[in-house]
Amino acid sequence: MRTMLTGASVFCGNGFVSADVVTDEGRIVAIGPDIKEKAEKVIHCDNFFVIPGLIDVHVHFREPGAEYKETIQTGALAAAAGGYSAVLPMPNLTPSPYDLDGLRPQLAAIEKLGSSIGAHSRVIPYGRITDGKKVADLEALAPYVCAFSDDGVGVQDGALMEEAMRRAKALGKLIVAHSEDTNYAPEDPRSEYMQIVRDLDLAQKTGASYHVCHVSSAESIRLIREAKKQGIDVTFETAPHYLVFSNENLPDDGRFKMNPPIRTAADREALLEAAADGTLDMIATDHAPHSAEEKSKGFKGSLNGILGLEAAFPVMYTSLVEGGVIPVDRLVQLMSTNPAKRFGLPGGELKEGGAADLAVVDLEDVFTIDPSGWKSKGRSTPFEGMKVSGRVIMTMTEGNIVYER
């Protein structure tokens, strides 16, 4: 259906301009002031802002295997409510996608989404890098997956990582590493950066495209910054919680329990600096729901993982943009444009001929984060109670409204 969004300020790459946006058959067909063309549906967006649909390259949707925590359906609904037009669920599932048999149940659940909830955000799964002992069937998985990751655990065996990088490169796919050396406690930043040291070498040696998940330590950033200067094909993400919190005086509450852990003020400062100076490539939530019971056992006893999808945009807009760390165009780059480019996904920018993947946000609306009404099955989030601005009003994927407040 030919649809026009009118009255909004529209993101045009380096700022906002007053413009109408017309979508048809999944594409943006016109952007400009006072478009005269007729549309079957006109959506008035006065005082709102239109940005490219957000893209989260790191979520956990628990289906198949732990549907009591989240399903692909509840995860997709949470994504849409958060302004995300595309999400990439990690493969720490049961069965796990080491091969096509392991991937099929997830593909079937994604396939079913349209008939159960109608239009929905894009959900594109990961395949695994290894099963712990050997490299997964990357060649069979490649046509169906966004990239390869063992997220949840690090690849401990360097020889396996090297073989995986060579094979992923031949397939034109990214290796997306949960970097964690189990010789160190997670609280020790070496647990994160020792594998980054190893994998940067392997990426240089193999020419693979290498992306590092949820970077949390200053030393990891220093290493990646240097590697980029040397021309190694590396990118990295961090998550909103590492940009907002540091580990002095964290409450004894499962809401702050995740892996990697929130680190020191100096680590957080290094992440903010990387956001501001262009080193950071993207922000991904690591949305990782667990049951209320599993998160009720204090900091020590609760499972690792917190919710991000329905909080990330307002939290990041408030703390980074209103907080004066980065301008809004850099936030759009981190949450949409860069993920689209690096993972080869539709969207990431608003342009004629491009995918009609967009979010309408109210940057003036000030509210308090309250997970009680969220679409996700989980409730545990460190952002609960934060006063924020930047409310998601509508999300569109491929020209379909997937969320409307």
* Strand positions, DSSP E, 210-335: 210-212, 234-238, 282-283
* Helix orientation angle between 218-229 and 190-206, rounded to the nearest 10 degrees: 10
The only residue of 151, 199, 237, 267 in contact with ligand DOR, by rule CB under 6 A: 151
Confirm or reject binding of residue 304 to ligand DOR (CB under 6 A): yes
Q: Considering only residues 234-263, where is the footprint of ligand DOR by CB under 6 A?
A: 258-259
CA 301 vs. chain centroid, Å, equals 26
Give the Cα separation of 308 and 315 in Å (integer).
10
Give the Cα separation of 200 and 169 in Å (integer).
14
Query: Which residue do the tokens 């807009």 mark?
Result: 317
Catalytic residue among 56, 150, 286, 357: 286
286 carries an active-site annotation: yes
Q: Among 358, 383, 308, which Cα is nearest to 54's? A: 358
Select 48 or 98, whichever has its Cβ closest to ligand DOR.
98
Using the CB atoms, write b or e for 255-272: b if 16+ within 10 Å: bbbbbbbbbeeebbebbb
Select 50 or 87, whichever has its Cβ closest to ligand DOR.
87
Select 259 or 264, whichever has its Cβ closest to ligand DOR.
259
Site map (CB under 6 A) of ligand DOR, residues 55-84, x = contact: -----x------------------------
Whose CB is nearest to ligand DOR?
Answer: 305
Site map (CB under 6 A) of ligand DOR, residues 180-219, x = contact: ----------------------------------------
Give the Cα separation of 390 and 323 in Å (integer).
13
Select 20 or 151, whichever has its Cβ closest to ligand DOR.
151
The only residue of 288, 307, 332, 392 in contact with ligand DOR, by rule CB under 6 A: 288
Which positions are catalytic? 286
Give the residues lining the site for ligand DOR (CB under 6 A): 60, 92, 151-152, 178, 258-259, 286, 288, 304-305
